[in-house]
Structure 1
Amino acid sequence: MSFPDLLEEVPDLSDGIRGKLTPNQPLSAVTWFRTGGPAQLMFQPADEDDLAVFLKKLPKDIPVLSVGLGSNLLIRDGGLKGVVVRLSAKGFGQIEELGNNRLRAGAAVPDKRLAEAAAKAGLGGFAFYTGIPGGLGGALRMNAGAHGTETRDRMIELTAIDRDGNRHVLTNSDMEYRYRHSGASSDLIFTTAVFEGVPQDEMTIREEMAAVVEHRENAQPIREKTGGSTFKNPDGNSAWKVVDAAGCRGLMVGGAQMSEMHCNFMINTGGATGHDLELLGETVRAKALEVTGIRLEWEIKRLGEFGPKGAIEPFLGQA
C-alpha cells in the first residue's frame, strides 16, 4: 500500500528544508514489532529550527505525528496519513551537564543512554531508565517509569515545537503527569528536556543499573520482536496477573503471541501483521473482562489506518 506523494501535492514543501524527506517510508523498519504500513511522508529534521520552519510551511490540514524509537508503538497495516516526524540522533541526541545536579538531553536520546550519562556524572535517580527500551521523547509523553520511579520524578522542564512551528517551554507541573500519561497537547513535538538527579556514588549507581538489567533479562522477552508492556496495570493489580487469570499466557493470533515468559508482552513470532497483534490484544482484553471483570487498558500506542482485513473493535465489540 502507498499514499499520494505529498512532495508532489505541495511542491514547495521542501524549499529551505535541511532535513530528510522520504515519501511512503515503510514504518515496519522503525518499530520494534517490525510491522505496519508506510508513513505518507517521513521528515527527519536537521535540528529544532529546521523542524519549526517545516511545520510553519506545512498546510494545516495535513496531520503530523512524532515517532521515536518505536518501542511502544503498533502501526496498523494501512499506514499513517500525513507527516511522521522522526527526530535524528545527530540533531536531537545530545546530552549536556548543566551543573546543580542537572542534565539537558535531546528527545532522540535512548532512555538507557541518559542513565549511563547520569552514572558518569555521579547523579542518582536515573537507573530505572536502563530497563526502558525507548527514547526520551516517548518517555516524556507517557511518563515512562519502572522500579518505583517515573519520568515526572526527574524532569524539570522541556522544550517543544507546536503544529504552527512555535517554541514552548513547559514545566513539570505544566505536563499534568499521572500514571503512564501526560496532559500535554498532542500536537507538541518534544525536542529537549532538563532532568535533575541526586548526588550518588557511581559504583552504587552502576550496581542499581546492573540489577535493573538482570531483572529485565530474567523476566522479559527482550530478544523478541515486542513492544514492551502491552497493558497498563489496573489499580491495585498487575496487568500480567489479569492476563494470566484470563488464560491468555501463550495465546496466539496468526503470528502474534502473548509471551510465555511474561504474559503482558506481545511478541511477533516472525510473520505477524499489525492486524494480528491488535486482534490478539483485543482478544485478551475481551477474555480478561469476561473472566475477571477487569477492563485492561492499552499501554502500547496503536496508530494509523486499518488494512485490508478491516477494523478491530475494542474488546471485540463488547460493551
Structure 2
Amino acid sequence: MSFPNLLELHPHLVEGIRGRLTANQPLSTVTWFRTGGPAQLMFQPADEDDLSLFLKKLPKDVPVLPVGLGSNLLIRDGGLEGVVIRLSAKGFGAIEEIGNGRIRAGAAVPDKRLAEAAAKAGLGGFAFYTGIPGGLGGALRMNAGAHGTETCQRMVELTAYDRGGSRHVLTNADMGYAYRHSSASGDLIFTSAVFEGVPQDEAAIRREMADVVEHREKAQPIREKTGGSTFKNPAGTSAWKEIDAAGCRGLTVGGAQMSEMHCNFMINTGEASGHDLELLGETVRARVLANSGIRLEWEIKRLGQFGAQEKIEPFLGQEGEAA
C-alpha cells in the first residue's frame, strides 16, 4: 500500500529544509517488530530549527507523529497517514554534563547510552536505563522504568516543540507522570531533557548496570524481534503471571508468538504481519479476561490503519463476557 505523495501535493515543504524527507517510507525498517506499512512521509530534521521550520510550513490538517527507536511500536499493515518525524542521532543525540549532578541529553539518545554517560560522570540513579530497549523520547513520553526506578525520578525538565513549531520547556510537574504514562499534550515533540542523578562511585554503578544486563539476558527474549513488555502490569499482580495462568505462554497466531521465555513479550518469529501481532495480543487479553476478570492494558503502542479486509476488536469484541 502507498499514500499520495505529500511532497507533490505540497511542494513548498522542501523549501529551506535541511533534513531528509522520504515519501512512503516503509516503517518495517525502523520498528523492532520489523512489521507494518509505510509512513506517508518521513521527516528526519537536521536540528531543532529545522524541525520548527518544517512544522510551521506543514498544513495544519496533516497528522504528525514522532517515532523514536521503534522498540515498543506496532505499526498496522495499512501504514500511517501524514508525517512521521524521526529525530536523528546527529541532530538530537548529544549528551553533556551541565553541573550540579545534571546531564542534558537529546531525545534520540538510546536509554542505555544515557546510563553509560551517567556512570562515567559518577552519577547514580540511571542504571535502570541499561535494561530499557528504547530512546529517551519514548522514555519521557511514557515514563519508562525498570527495577524500581522510573524516568520521572530522574527528569528535571524537557524541551519540546508543538504542532505549530513553537518551543516549550516543561518541568517534571508539568508532565503529569504516572505508571507508564504522562499527561503531556500528544502533539508535543520532545527534543531534549535535563536529568539529575546522585553522586556514586563508578565501580558501584557499573555493578548495578551489570546486574540489570544479566537479569535481562536471563529473563527476556532480547535476541528476538520483539517490542518489549506487551502489557502493563495490573494493580496487585504481574501481566506475565496472568498471561501464564490463562494458558497463553507460547501461544501463536500466524508468525506471532507470546514468548516461551517471558510470556509478556510478543515476538515476530519470522514472517508475522502487524495483523498477526495485534490479533495475538487481543486474543491474550480476551483469555486473561475470561480466566481472571482482569483487563490487560497494552503497553506497546499500536498505530496506523489496518490493511485491506483487516479489523480487530478489543478483547475480540467480548469485553463484557468470557472469551
TM-score range, shorter chain: over 0.9
Counterpart position of 1:295: 295
What are the superposed Cα offsets for residues 110-153 of structure 1, whole Å, 9 maximum, x if unpaired?
Answer: 00000000000000000000000000000000000000000000
SS in 2 for 1:284: helix
Cα offset for 1:298?
0.1
Give the whole-Å Cα distance in 2 for the aligned partners of 1:282 and 1:82: 26
Alpha-carbon distance, 1:105 to partner: 0.1
In structure 2, give the amino acid aligned to 1:255. Answer: G
Report 1:204-215 matches (<5 A): 204-215=204-215
Determine whether 1:248 maps to 2:248: yes
Percent identical across equivalent pairs? 83
CA distance in 1, matches of 2:32, 2:308: 22
Aligned length: 319
The aligned residue for residue 118 of structure 1 is 118
In the alignment, what sits opposite 1:148? 148
Task: Give 1:277's aligned residue.
Answer: 277
> What is the alpha-carbon distance in structure 2 between the residues aligned to residue 138 and residue 171 of structure 1?
17
**1:12 counterpart SS class:** helix
Residue by residue, what CA displacement relative to the aligned partner does 1:52-74 show, whole Å, maximum 9, x if unpaired? 00000000000000000000000
Contact kept? 1:174, 1:184, Cα under 8 Å: yes
2:286 equivalent in structure 1: 286
TM-score by length of 2: 0.98
Aligned: 1:105 with 2:105: yes
Query: Where in structure 1 are there 5+ consecutive unaligned residues?
Result: none
Query: Retained in 2: the 8 A contact 1:74–1:301?
Result: yes
Superposed, which structure 2 residues align to 1:1-319 within 5 Å? 1-319=1-319
Letter in 2 for 1:311: K
Which amino acid is the alignment partner of residue 314 of structure 1?
Answer: P
| Whole-angstrom CA distance in 2 between matches of 1:308 and 1:77 | 9
Whether contact under 8 Å (1:36, 1:76) holds in the other structure is: yes
- Confirm or deny: 8 A CA contact 1:76 1:306 kept in the other structure: yes
Is the Cα contact below 8 Å between 1:285 and 1:296 reproduced in 2? Answer: yes
**RMSD of aligned Cα (Å):** 0.4
Q: Secondary structure at the match of 1:160?
A: strand
Aligned-residue offset at 1:310: 1.3
SS at the partner of 1:302?
A: strand
Query: Secondary structure at the residue paired with 1:23?
Result: strand
Comparing 181-190 with 305-314, greater Cα deviation is found at: 305-314
- Structure 1 residue 287: deviation in Å? 0.3
- Aligned to 1:65, the other structure's residue is in SS state strand
Q: Aligned partners of 1:203 and 1:79: how far apart in 2?
A: 46
Deviation at 1:308, TM superposition (A): 1.9
Q: Per-residue CA shift, 1:11-68, capped at 9, x if unaligned?
A: 1111000000000000000000000000000000000010000000000000000000
Unmatched 5+ stretches in structure 2: none
Give the AA of the match of 1:198.
V
Measure, in 2, the Cα distance between the counterparts of 1:49 and 1:153. Answer: 29
Query: Deviation per CA, 1:200-247, whole angstroms, max 9, x where unpaired?
Result: 000000000000000000000000000000000000100000000110
Q: Which residue identity does 2:197 align to in structure 1?
A: G
State how far apart, in whole Å, the 1-side matches of 2:11 and 2:199 are. 53
Give 1:309 deviation, angstroms.
3.7
Where 2:227 maps in the other structure, the secondary structure is strand
CA–CA distance in 1 between the matches of 2:21 and 2:163? 17
1:275–1:309 CA contact under 8 A, matched in 2: no
What secondary structure is seen at the aligned counterpart in 2 of 1:280? Answer: helix
Which residue identity does 2:206 align to in structure 1? R
What amino acid is the match of 2:179?
Answer: Y
Paired letter, 1:169: V
SS in 2 for 1:28: helix
Q: Give the Cα–Cα distance (whole angstroms) in 2 for the partners of residues 309 and 151 of structure 1.
A: 40
